[in-house]
Structures are given as structure tokens and as C-alpha cells.
């Protein structure tokens, strides 16, 4: 992908925020929201290993609803979200990326991992000044989370191979736009090198 590049101003300490890598988004046999994305899973597996070795914080997110009034307008716009009921298998993190003890799962109702959650407070407590945002989908929850992270004065790094979308054109367009305005989009190898 040819993105307009700028010099990376790296954070001193990153947190890894894995957005919606739940079965509802990773298993097309179970959910209308999902896409077949083994390369995204593998990139996230490598990042998880690197963050765990370094001892830097890891946060997962999942979308789950236990009340019809939660994110009512969002769910009207995208009715397929209604399959993500709290306690169902679809809201569980994909077992290929199983969280370890001490790695929080942030339950969210809207697109951004920050909106209506305690993520910013948890990042502050972890002493980070940047986030690597990964997961699904690039044009939706990844983008919303990256933009909100910037608006909380965090440096945002997006490992290109660690995000994905059901729509390849939307994926490319959003990575271009994120790089231009909100985040640093870099190859996976570059991001792993920062953690070495």
C-alpha cells in the first residue's frame, strides 16, 4: 500500500489495544459480522507475544449487549450487531488470541473502545503515552478507537497487517485516511522492531 508517510514520533511506552477480535468478528461460520482473516490473527499473535515479552500492557475489547436500550441508534443502523449478546460465544475473544490473567477485556457498546468505557483510565494507570491499535474492522471500530486515542493525546500506531475489514476497498481507504490525519500506519515488522 502506498501511504503518504511521515516520520514516526514513537511513544515511550505503548499499550496494545486489540479491537473486537471476538468470534463474532473472526468466525464467518458463526456471525454475519465476521470475515475470514487468518493473516490478521497471525499478526496479532506476533504482537501479543512481543508485548508480553516486553511486559507492556495489553487490552482486548469486545462488543456485547445485555439491554435493548444499549447503543440503540447504532444497532438500528447496523442490526447485525444484535447477535452480540452478552454471555454468548460470539462475544468471546478468539481462542487463538486468548487473553492471559491480568489482560483486561473492555466491554463496549459503540464503535470506539474509549466511548462509555474505562479504557482511558486504565491506560493512564498503566503509564502509557501511546497505543498500538489492531483488530477489526478497519473502517469501523478500529478507526473510531484510533481517532479517540488521538483525541486523548495518545500517539497512535497501527500495524498494517494486524487490522482487517470485510470490504477491501474500505480497508485501504481508511488506512490511507488514518495515516494522513490521525495515526502512524506502519508495516508489522516495523512495529515489532519497536518492541524488540
5 in a structural domain: no
Residue-wise over 141-173: b if at least 16 C-beta within 10 A, else e? bbbbbbbbbbeeebbbbbbbbbbbbbeeeebbe
Confidence at residue 3, expressed as pLDDT on a 0 to 100 scale: 53
- What's phi and psi for 142, nearest 5 deg? -65, -50
Name every residue whose Cβ is closer than 8 Å to that of residue 93 and which is 6 or more positions away in sequence: 18, 21, 22, 23, 60, 62, 99, 105
pLDDT tens per residue across span 148-191 = 999 999 999 999 999 999 999 999 999 999 999 999 999 999 99
126 in a structural domain: yes
CATH number at residue 35: 3.40.50.850
Q: Which residues are catalytic?
A: 141
Q: CA 85 to CA 89: how far, in whole Å?
A: 9
7 in a structural domain: no
Cβ count near 31 (within 10 Å)? 19
84 in a structural domain: yes
Confidence at residue 5, expressed as pLDDT on a 0 to 100 scale: 60
8 in a structural domain: no
pTM attached to this predicted model: 0.95
119 in a structural domain: yes
Residue 30: domain span: 14-195
* pLDDT beneath 50, residues of the chain: 1-2
4 in a structural domain: no
Q: CA 66 to CA 23: how far, in whole Å?
A: 17
Which three cell numbers mark 38?
Answer: 487468518
Strand segments (E) across 39-183: 58-63, 105-108, 130-136, 155-159, 163-164
9 in a structural domain: no
| Number of domains the chain contains | 1
Amino acid at each position: 500500500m502506498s501511504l503518504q508517510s511521515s516520520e514516526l514520533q514513537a511513544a515511550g511506552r505503548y499499550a496494545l489495544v486489540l479491537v473486537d477480535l471476538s468470534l463474532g468478528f473472526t468466525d464467518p461460520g458463526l456471525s454475519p459480522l465476521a470475515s475470514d482473516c487468518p493473516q490478521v490473527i497471525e499478526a496479532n499473535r506476533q504482537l501479543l507475544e512481543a508485548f508480553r515479552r516486553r511486559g507492556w500492557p495489553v487490552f482486548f475489547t469486545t462488543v456485547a449487549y445485555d439491554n435493548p436500550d444499549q447503543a440503540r441508534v447504532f444497532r438500528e443502523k447496523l442490526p447485525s450487531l444484535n447477535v452480540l449478546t452478552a454471555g454468548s460465544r460470539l462475544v468471546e475473544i478468539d481462542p487463538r488470541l486468548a487473553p492471559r490473567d491480568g489482560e483486561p477485556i473492555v466491554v463496549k457498546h459503540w464503535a470506539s473502545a474509549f466511548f462509555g468505557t474505562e479504557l482511558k483510565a486504565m491506560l493512564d494507570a498503566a503509564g502509557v503515552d501511546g497505543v498500538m491499535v489492531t483488530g477489526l474492522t478497519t473502517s469501523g471500530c478500529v478507526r473510531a478507537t484510533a481517532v479517540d486515542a488521538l483525541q486523548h493525546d495518545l500517539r497512535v500506531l497501527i500495524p498494517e497487517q494486524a487490522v482487517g475489514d470485510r470490504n477491501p476497498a474500505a480497508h485501504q481507504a481508511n488506512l490511507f485516511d488514518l495515516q494522513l490525519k490521525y495515526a502512524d500506519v506502519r508495516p508489522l515488522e516495523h512495529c515489532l522492531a519497536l518492541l524488540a
